[in-house]
Amino acid sequence: MIVELRDSLEFLFPDSVVGKNPCTSITLDVARAGTAAVHVLVNELKEGAAVRISLHDARGVVVRSAQWFRLVDVPVEGNTGPVGFAEKEGEHNELVIRRAPFRVCDVMKPVSGSVRADAPILAFRMHLPVPANARPDERTYTVRIKRGREEQQLALTVKVHKPVIPDVGRDSWPYTNWFSYDHMATRHGLKPWSDGHWRMIRKYADLMARGRQNMFRVTWQEMFDASSGRPVLNHERLKRIVNTFTKAGLHYIEGGHVAGRTGGKWKAPTFDVTLSRGLRATSIEGNAFLSRALRQLREEIDRNGWRDRWIQHVADEPAGDNITDYRILAGMVRKYLPGIPLLDATMSTDLIGSVDIWCPQCQEYQHNREKFESQRSLGDKVWFYVCCFPGGPWLNRFLDEELLRPLLLGWGAVLYDLDGFLHYGLNQYASDEHPFEKTLVRADEDNWLPPGDGHVIYPGPKEPWSGLRFEAQREGIEDLELLRQLAERDPKRTGAIVRRVIRAFNQYTKDVRVLRRARRDLLLAL
């Protein structure tokens, strides 16, 4: 058995090998309320061998607060395209970590006690949470890996710095991943809206809050029953959803889209009501439907004191021929939900006056920065998002890209002083997708989604399991919160630290050591 430490921001693979000069010691800089993390790679195991791994303090006592995960690999059947979606015939994206097909360790399976080796190589991840009230100092630990009577030891030093990462909630940076309530039930063998499903929703909410998410979406399918042809708000379910996520620490509520493209066709010039297929949203009948639904929703928002928490979506990604219909529809929503800010994935500046929170893809913001900033100067906010686009050199969260990319989304937000981040895929698995065994799925007749696009966590047997990309983005948003603290005191120094790491959404370091040094200097500057 041979072992070594690896940086937690580097992907491992089923064929990862310990180097000729194994890394046997590592030093981590961490803020209070942060998490020290490291990977442990174990080679030359026999199938069935029992491996036990643990963390010990300077006195040799087991550190009970250390959390251990086995890193589980998932398949990458195709590579991300040079522009977006997955590669098509004739396309070749050179900016990926490996050429598909391959497998990469992204799943974090919680473990305790011993682990049975099912291959010659095992990979682990360790989390050591640092309390907000911890004393700033330097701490030494030993990682012990045992196989039978054989034992290997690795040295870990954690430098706890004085700065404190703020709690997730109302005042933290706005960040949302959309998710599927149905998958929170069915992917765990639970009946939707059963007691077990509600307990599972809370487990997901806890994981989301830990990942720095402070917003949660409630779609119209969860809020309303339209089986009679008229929308009826499910007051009890909506309140229970809000209470569940609120108790977990999430603050802002996203009302789901009131409408979608007619016939589900991208180039459709009009939108249909979400709960009534074929009912044009801006028709007389559509207006009546939306009036009944949104008036009920407004009364519920006011009754429960949610007005300062609620953000409303109208229709996703308006563009091209449907912009005129969207502008009318947005006016209708404003009429029935006065004072509620409207947020949508928006890349066309032809929507001036229709939204309060712009949310372009990162490359679209960068290409049209002046136009989006002109709207911010008038009082609007500007978020950004990524999804199946962009590919190539741009920041995103795909399985065939460096783990630094999801982390640097937070640093990019500081670079451009953006107001929030949105992604559609927390656990948005396709119907024929099993995330442990299939990650390449169709988007439409002509396109495949890039690997891992629709999810950054995984459905464990009894709870959701985190993923390395989710954790990397969490770290980046923790950095963002610290960078914001420094910017209040010394914006020039903050800018200098940020530009060492990233200069644009497609110009950034791929060297983890550069990020580590910049983070250390950030902590010292604070």
* Local confidence pLDDT in tens for the 526 residues of the chain: 999 999 999 999 999 999 999 999 999 999 999 999 999 999 999 999 999 999 999 999 999 999 999 999 999 999 999 999 999 999 999 999 999 999 999 999 999 989 999 999 999 999 999 999 999 999 999 999 999 999 999 999 999 999 999 999 999 999 999 999 999 999 999 999 999 999 999 999 999 999 999 999 999 999 999 999 999 999 999 999 999 999 999 999 999 999 999 999 999 999 999 999 899 999 999 999 999 999 999 999 999 999 999 999 999 999 999 999 999 999 999 999 999 999 999 999 899 999 999 999 999 999 999 999 999 999 999 999 999 999 999 999 999 999 999 999 999 999 999 999 999 999 999 998 999 999 889 999 899 999 999 999 999 999 999 999 999 999 999 999 999 999 999 999 999 999 999 999 999 999 999 999 999 999 999 9
CA atoms within 13 A on the CB side of 95: 17
| Residue at 266 is within a domain | no
Q: Contact 215/251 with Cβ under 8 angstroms? A: yes
Is 375 a member of any domain? no
Residue 210, beta-bridge partner list: none
Say how many C-beta atoms besides its own lie within 10 A of residue 263's C-beta: 11
Q: How far apart are CA 109 and CA 71, in angstroms?
A: 6
d(CA 519, CA 524) in angstroms, rounded, equals 9
Residue 445 · residue 88 · CB < 8 Å = no
List the structure tokens of 241.
């959803």
Three-state DSSP at 455 gives strand
User: For the chain, what is the domain count?
Assistant: 1
Rounded-to-10 torsion of CA 293, 299, 302, 305: -80
* Cα distance between residue 307 and residue 338, in whole Å: 10
Taking alpha carbons only, the member of 24, 29, 42 closest to residue 146 is 42
Question: In angstroms, rounded to a whole number, what is the distance separating the alpha carbons of residues 96 and 105?
Answer: 15
CATH number of the domain that 72 lies in?
A: 2.60.40.10
Both tokens assigned to 368: 């049209």
Query: Within a domain: residue 19?
Result: yes
For residues 219 and 257, give the distance between their C-alpha atoms in angstroms, rounded to a whole number. Answer: 7
Show the CA angle centred on residue 484, arms to residues 478 and 485, nearest 5°.
Answer: 95
Distances (CA, A) of 491 to 265, 486, 487, 496: 46, 7, 4, 9
At position 76, the amino acid (one-letter code) is: V
Contacts 24+ apart (CB under 8 A), 54-59: 54/143, 54/144, 55/126, 55/128, 55/141, 55/142, 55/143, 55/144, 55/156, 56/141, 56/142, 56/143, 56/144, 57/139, 57/140, 57/141, 58/139, 58/140, 58/141
Lateral strand order in the sheet of 215-218: 215-218, 252-255, 310-312
Tell me the β-bridge partners of 42: 3, 122
User: How confident is the model at residue 43, as a pLDDT?
Assistant: 97
Comparing C-alpha atoms, which of 211, 212, 216 is closest to residue 201?
A: 216
Q: Which of 342, 361, 363 is nearest to 352 (CA)?
A: 342
Sign of CA dihedral 84, 87, 91, 95: positive
For residue 481, the tally of other CB atoms under 10 A from its CB is 22
In a domain, 296, yes or no: no
In a domain, 40, yes or no: yes
Q: Does the residue 311 lie in any domain?
A: no
H or E segment and range at residue 302 = helix 284-303
pTM (2 d.p.): 0.97
> CB of 251 within 8 A of CB of 167?
no
For residue 323, being part of any structural domain is answered with: no
Q: What is the pLDDT of residue 440?
A: 87
Domain that holds residue 143: 2-163
pLDDT of residue 493: 98
Query: Structure tokens of 367?
Result: 């290409």
Q: How far apart are CA 395 and CA 407, in angstroms?
A: 9
Of 184, 179, 216, whose CA–CA distance to 200 is shortest? 184
CB 104 within 8 A of CB 71: no
Let me know if residue 54 belongs to a domain: yes
Task: Report the pLDDT value the prediction gives residue 439, as an integer from 0 to 100.
Answer: 85
Distance, in Å, from the CA atom of 72 to the CA atom of 112, rounded to the nearest integer, reads: 15
pLDDT at 113: 85
pLDDT number for residue 131: 98
